[in-house]
Amino acid sequence: MTPQATNELLVWDLKFDEKGKLTAPVAEDFLDRVIDAGVEDLFMFSHGWGTPENTASELYDDMFPRILEAATRTPGIGKMGFVGIYWPSLSFPPTPATPPPAADATQAGSGAVVDLNAGTTALSGGKIAASLQPGFADPVQQQTVMEIGRLIDEGKKAVGSNESEAEKEERLRQIHQQLKSLVPPAPNGEFEDSGETALLLTDDPKRDYQAAAEIFGSAPPGSATQGIGDWFNSAINGAKDVMRVLSYTTMKARAGHIGRSGLGPLLEALHGRSSSAREPSVRVHLIGHSFGARLVSFALSGISAPEKSPVASLLLLQGAFSHWSFAHEQDNPFGSAGALHGFADRVHGPLVATFSIHDWAVGVWYPKASFLAGEDAQAQAAGRWGGMGADGYQAVNPLEDREMLADGKTNYGFTPRTFYRVNAARVINDVEGQSFSGAHSDIRKNPVAALAADAAAAHARSSRPN
């Protein structure tokens, strides 16, 4: 395989299937090309959140030249190469959500909206299913997704009919049984990222689908507990919200698996190949957006030992996974270390995560998917089910806070083996036309590229990994 080369920009594409298998190119060819090109600093970027291949390609085409330009001005970075990671992430159709109030609305007394609505009721079951189906490779699962959509739409037609309670409950049972068959197995030890399973595997869909509708705004507040309105209508609307939760859960599990079983071993192989071929070895800078942040993070767990890791920096852009993933046991509401706590040492430089109050996808809707698992007030107050893009790393050490520099300069003062929470609200803040996700994907900006370059330079200016 020959990389794309434009104005000294070397770019390789890596394509993984949902099982974590590298489908293109051949791994040996990729490793040989990187070594033969003399790359010293390799930036590897993973897309996330429901991103089709063409959109991911547009992201990389936009960001790689920005990173190249920023890194060229940053001392300590050698010859650069870039890798765009492609993986099958599920795409949930856009919904006309009620935007949350502006950050300063409470102080300004502007009559902020309190009852948020994800807008899921505007979608048909068939439209949701058609959007999710391409993300599944298994024909049986594809058929199941479409069957769920059909059952939901048939249920909507039955709302207000003279069907008996038993018939309506049977409709809901069929939807739930089909949906449960698609729930991925929970990875061992990843308690902090498995809150949604309480809803997806519930034994009482009649109760909990109504509760889901209330949480996501598809039913009036209190309807699930007070019997307000038609329970079946609320439950069918809730089934659409549960399909959204299924997409979250599947994407998180898939991203983690691809990172651990696909990207991680490839990184270790790259380090072994480059270390034996020449000195210095290739430094890798992992960048992930949304669920792609989870993918590159879990790649660390696929590297067998710190000395076999080429990873020189980790940058998580509005990560859509638990902010407790790297946590130590102390101060962790789960009572044990996060799933990645023991793998942070695979990063020889800084571990950086951005967050923004304008990211509604992670800050507002993401934790709602775990509402059944976080019923106690203490757990909610501790941010048990919060995402990385909402407030960054939690319960890690050493930890420092930074604010994203809007002028695109690279002087963050990063040091190796330190966690950094970067408040990006001044930069990742464009919510125009994004009533559901807000600024979640507002990352195609020079200050973001400058942040990636500075994170890379922190280790480049220090000793290289063995």
- For 313-328, the pLDDT digits (tens) are 999 999 999 999 999 9
- Residue 288 pairs with which residues in a beta bridge? 46, 316
Q: Is it the case that residue 202 has pLDDT exceeding 90?
A: yes
Question: What residue ranges define each of the domains in the chain, with the CATH number in brackets?
Answer: 4-90+253-460 (3.40.50), 105-249 (no CATH)
Phi, psi for residue 128 in degrees, rounded to 5 = -60, -45
pLDDT tens-digit readout, 288-307: 999 999 999 999 999 999 99
Query: What residues have CB less than 8 Å from 276, skipping those under 6 apart?
Result: none
Spatial separation of the C-alpha atoms in residues 457 and 75, rounded to whole Å:
7
Confidence band of 172 (pLDDT split at 50, 70, 90): very high
pLDDT, mean over the chain: 91
Position 338 scores a pLDDT of 96
Query: What residues have CB less than 8 Å from 359, skipping those under 6 apart?
Result: 318, 389, 390, 428, 437, 438, 439, 440
Confidence band of 255 (pLDDT split at 50, 70, 90): very high
Query: What residues have CB less than 8 Å from 335, skipping those under 6 apart?
Result: 329
Q: Is it the case that residue 198 has pLDDT exceeding 70?
A: yes
Q: Please answer whether residues 326 and 319 qualify as being in contact, where contact means their C-beta atoms are separated by less than 8 angstroms.
A: no
Position 385 scores a pLDDT of 92
Position 167 scores a pLDDT of 96
Q: How many CB atoms lie within 10 A of CB 3?
A: 18
| Most confident of the following: 22-36, 103-117, 228-242 | 22-36
Q: Is it the case that residue 407 has pLDDT exceeding 90?
A: no
3 state SS of 338: coil
pLDDT tens-digit readout, 360-372: 999 999 999 998 8
Average confidence (pLDDT) over 450-461 = 90
Confidence band of 383 (pLDDT split at 50, 70, 90): confident
pLDDT tens-digit readout, 85-110: 999 999 999 999 999 987 655 444 44
